[in-house]
Amino acid sequence: MAVFKAAKWRSTVDRHFRFLEENFHMTVIATDDSTNWETSVTYASDTGAVIVRYSVEFDRAEVELIRLVDGKVPPVPIFIHPDTPIDRSLLDNLLLLRAPSEAEELKTQRGLDSSSVDHSLAFQAAALQRYGGDFLSGNCDVFRDFDNLIKARVAQHPQKLTIHVPEGTSKSEVEASVAKAATVDPRVPIEVHFYRRPKARPDRKWPWQKRGDDSGR
C-alpha cells in the first residue's frame, strides 16, 4: 500500500516544479507509488530526466538528475567501479559542486510532514533553477563532475558485501553462501561474519497451568 498516492504527490510536486514543463519543455513520463518506501514523479526531455521523490527510507523529499541512455532512465547501479557509467545523481551532489553552503543547508531538511516537505521542495526547485540550467537545457557535461565526485567517494569508502551466517555452519555451506553472494558482483570483496545462535528458552508455564498440573496429582 502506497504511503503517499501518486496523484497527490504529483500535485504537490507540480506546485514547485512546474517550471520544468513551462521553461524546459519536460513532460511527466511516470509516477510510481507501488511500494511503501517511496512515491515519485519523473519529468523528462529528450536528453535528461528529473525524479522528485517522497522517500520514507531517507525521511526526506529528494531530487535526482538523470542522463537518459537510449532515451530511457537507466537502472541504479548496485556497485560503482572505475568503469561504471554514472548517469544518475542526487541534486545534493550538484549543490556540493556548485553551491557548497546550500548543500549543507539541504542536509538539514529532513522530515515528511507537509510543512517540511513543502519547504524542501521549494528549496530544491529554486536550487535546481539556479545551478542546473545547463543540464535542464540538454547539456549533460556536469555528469563528468558527478563521475569524479562519486567515484572519489567510493575510493575513500571501499565497497564490500557482508554475509552473516550462524556459528557452526559447515565450511561447504559457508562457501556456497559466498559463491551465491559473488554472483551479485564478482569484483566486490565479500566478508563473512558469524553470529551466535540464540539459546533456546525452556518452556514456561503460566500460574494457572501450574495449578492445573497440581490438581491432577
| Confidence band for 215, pLDDT divided at 50, 70 and 90 | very low
| Confidence band for 65, pLDDT divided at 50, 70 and 90 | very high
How much is the average pLDDT of 48-76?
97
Residues of the chain with pLDDT > 70, as a percent, come to: 90
| Confidence band for 184, pLDDT divided at 50, 70 and 90 | confident
Q: DSSP string spanning the chain?
A: --SS-HHHHHHHHHHHHTHHHHHH--EEEEEE--SSSEEEEEEE-SSEEEEEEEETTTTEEEEEEEE-BTTBPPPPPSS--TT----EEEHHHHHHHH-HHHHHHHHT----SHHHHHHHHHHHHHHHHHH-HHHHTT--THHHHHHHHHHHHHHHS---EEEEEETT--HHHHHHHHHHHHTT-TTS-EEEEEEPPPPPPPP---HHHHHHHHHT-
Q: What is the three-class DSSP state of 21?
A: helix
Give the domain ranges of the chain: 6-156, 160-217
Higher pLDDT, 151 or 207: 151
| Confidence band for 19, pLDDT divided at 50, 70 and 90 | very high
Residue 129 confidence (pLDDT): 98
Q: Can you give the pTM of this predicted structure? A: 0.83
Nearest to 40 by CA among 1, 73, 7: 7
Residues of the chain with pLDDT > 90, as a percent, come to: 70
Cell numbers 524546459 label which residue? 24
Distance CA 178, CA 160 (A): 12
How much is the average pLDDT of 154-162?
88
How much is the average pLDDT of 82-95?
97
Higher pLDDT, 53 or 172: 53
Q: pLDDT tens digits, residue range 131-150?
A: 999 999 999 999 999 999 99
